[in-house]
Amino acid sequence: MLAKRIIPCLDVTDGRVVKGVNFVDLIDAGDPVECAIAYNLQQADELVFLDITASSDNRNTMVDVVRRTAEKCFIPLTVGGGIRSVENMREMLLAGADKVGVNTSAVTNPSLVDAGAKAFGSQCIVVAIDAKREGPGKWGVYTHGGRKPVGLDAVEWAKEVWRRGAGEILLTSMDSDGTQAGYDIELTAAVSSAIGIPVIASGGAGNLDHMVDVLDAGKADAVLAASIFHFKKHTIAEAKQHFAERGVPVRPYV
């Protein structure tokens, strides 16, 4: 049976992890490659690197981080942040990323999704959507960290990028993000039910039951989380055990 995936996300700027990662067993908790190796050992199902400054100078640093990570970690790796062209995508994929994430650049230039899918296959293209509740059962798409509304309905936008060839949606609830009060289950279920590609739920994980809820009631295919794992509140193995106890299919820890 297909397992639900657990995906730690590392925010990176200038080649360093930001927001902090507090693994006691790391020599340098700011080095994204070391953090990635630690999660690989914990048997995370995938990894996401998010380049949060994403200037063009920074991209070369990121390419190097991706290359060094891919030499050590044999799990799928997604890289997002600052990817604005097919050429940017190619750079990351050639360095060893398995998928690339686009967010603002897809909103400003939706044909980038088509072009990426055509050049590398849909399975490589993850569209990240930042959504904010605007009314009952209605969410708008935002960019710039949730500050700028772009006038799109989140469910409709997800359908459009699916049609354009996206292989997966990384869906962040701006209302829940950072609250540790749980994912937005209603939003996740609305998007997941509307499209035929997997949805990664993001934003709001405070405990393991939050993850189970969004995978179950929220119909998500994967959960993304940062601080809950970075600060060792829980390990990946604990999460998997908890999921299994609650009947969520997981890849067993081996």
Catalytic residues: 11, 130
Residue 91 to residue 89: CA distance in whole angstroms = 5
Residue spans of beta strands (DSSP E) within the chain: 5-13, 16-17, 47-51, 77-80, 99-102, 125-135, 138-143, 148-153, 168-173, 199-202, 222-225
Pairing of the two strands 77-80 and 222-225: unpaired
124 sits near another protein (criterion: CB under 8 A)? yes
Contact indicator for 138, 69 with CB cutoff of 8 Å: no
Q: Which residues pair with 99 in a beta bridge?
A: 78
CB 209 within 8 A of CB 183: no
Site residue total, another protein (CB under 8 A): 33
Q: Does residue 76 belong to the site contacting another protein (CB under 8 A)?
A: yes
- Tell me if 159 contacts another protein by CB under 8 A: no
Considering the complex, what minimum distance in angstroms separates the CB of residue 196 from another protein? 6
Nearer to another protein, 102 or 126 (CB): 126
Determine the number of helices (DSSP H) and then strands (DSSP E) in the chain: 10, 11
Please report, as residue ranges, which positions from 185 to 224 form the binding site for another protein (by CB under 8 A): 196-198, 221-222
Amino acid found at 64: D
Which CB sits closer to another protein, 94 or 181? 94
- Interacting residues with another protein between 14 and 73 (CB under 8 A): 40, 43, 45, 70-72
Report the residue number, 93 or 102, with the smaller CB distance to another protein: 93
Contacts with another protein, residue ranges (CB under 8 A)? 1-5, 40, 43, 45, 70-72, 74-76, 93-96, 98, 121-124, 167-168, 196-198, 221-222, 251-252, 254
